[in-house]
Amino acid sequence: MNISDLKSIILDLFFPNRCPLCGKVVNWQISYCDKCYENLSRTGDELCHGCGNIASSCSCDEENFSFLRCYAAFYYEDVVKSAIVYLKHTPNDIFPGIVAEKILQDMESDCYKFKADCVVPVPMAKLKRNQRGFNQADVLAKALADALDIPLEANVLKKRNSLVAQHELTAESRRRNVKHLYEKTDTDKLKGKIVILCDDVMTTGSTLNECSKLLIEMGTAAVIIAVAATTIK
Ligand SMILES: [Zn+2]
Ligand SMILES: [Zn+2]
């Protein structure tokens, strides 16, 4: 046993190492449980990259989305759910790294090719950010920007403080509410750029569609959505 092993063991006694996927205490030598990694519900060819829906209920022809492509690494269930809950409380770069790796695979296997210029996280309202201390979308966006070797552009969009939680609303009120929640800034650094908009979970897609609209209004050439998980299945 060398000094650094000894240091890890002592640290482990006070700050036990946890698997960022299930949140359980694991041996200090491992990053995550193999079983958790295997059980992540990965999305596949059944997901349409045009609208983000399952191909059998693809809505590309009926709806006009403000984004160009949409990639969701996982389905929001089981281990993925616990990994996202864990990330909201304990920022880590392991789960975001796994997400980034899967998004890159999806982008590579997609017939549509593009070269993105930067990654923009979906913003969190100041009040909530102050309570939590960080925005999990920032952490995911950073991992994706690092994997693609492109810059992270945080703070180009803003979210207003809201008294109602989005997830407590029906799909229709969500769409109405979301219009007042996000706002653009007067930066011109996104002009003509291909931007990846990143978030943790996609539910109805109304938040992502609204933020994409704002990015387009700010001069962005195209918006690509990248989320860790989708609730659509
Ligand atoms: Zn685990
Ligand atoms: Zn579609």
| Cα–ligand 1 centroid distance for 51 (angstroms) | 31
Q: What's the pLDDT tens digit per position in 24-59?
A: 999 888 899 999 999 999 999 999 999 999 999 998
Give the distance (Å) from ligand 1 centre to CA of residue 206.
31
Query: Is this structure's pTM higher than 0.85?
Result: yes
| pLDDT at residue 90 greater than cutoff 90 | yes
Same domain, 80 and 7: no
pLDDT digits (tens, 9 = 90+) for 178-227: 888 999 999 999 999 999 999 999 998 889 999 999 999 999 999 999 99
C-alpha 30 – ligand 2 centre gap (Å):
39
Q: What is the number of helices (H) and of strands (E) in the chain? A: 8, 6
d(CA 195, CA 119): 6
User: Quick one: 65 and 174 in the same domain?
Assistant: yes
Q: Is pLDDT of 232 > 90?
A: no
Domain co-membership, 119 together with 208: yes
Q: Which residue range forms the structural domain that includes residue 9?
A: 1-39
**What is the whole-number distance in angstroms between the Cα of residue 86 and the centre of ligand 1?**
11
> What's the CATH code of the domain at 218?
3.40.50.2020
For residue 146, report the distance from its CA to the centre of ligand 2, in Å: 28
Q: Which ligand is nearest to the CA of 50?
A: 2
- The kind and range of the H/E element at 99 are helix 94-109
Cα gap 72→84, rounded to integer Å: 14
Q: How close is the Cα of 109 to the center of ligand 2, in Å?
A: 16
Q: How many A from CA of 36 to the centre of ligand 1? A: 5
Q: What pLDDT is stored for residue 166 in this prediction?
A: 67
Same-domain pairing of 52 and 127: yes
Ligand 2 centroid distance, CA of 70 (Å): 9
| CA–CA dist 44, 75 (Å, integer) | 10
Model pLDDT, residue 170 = 78
Q: Which ligand is nearest to the CA of 69?
A: 2
Q: Do 96 and 189 have their domain in common? A: yes
Let me know whether 23 and 55 are in one domain.
Answer: no
SS3 215: helix
Is 2 found in the same domain as 109? Answer: no
Taking the centre of ligand 1 as the mean of its atom positions, its distance from the CA of residue 38, in whole angstroms, is: 10
- Taking the CA of 86 as reference, the closest ligand is 1
Considering the domain architecture, whether residues 35 and 79 belong to the same structural domain is answered as no
How much is the pLDDT for 173? 78
**For 92-120, what is the mean pLDDT?**
97
Cα 69 to middle of ligand 2, angstroms: 9
> How much is the pLDDT for 229?
98
SS3 category, 81: helix
Q: Could you report the per-residue pLDDT of 133-191, keeping only the tens digit for each?
A: 999 999 999 999 999 999 999 999 999 987 777 677 777 777 777 888 999 999 999 99
Distance from the CA of 30 to the center of ligand 1, in angstroms?
10
**Which residues 6+ apart lie within 8 Å of 199 measured at CB?**
121, 122, 137, 140, 207, 208, 225, 227, 228
* Closest-approaching ligand to the CA atom of 18: 1
Indicate whether 63 pLDDT > 90: no
Q: What is the pLDDT of residue 169?
A: 74
What is the model's pLDDT at position 194? 98
Report how far ligand 2's centroid is from the alpha carbon of 62 (Å): 9
97 and 57 in a single domain? The answer is yes
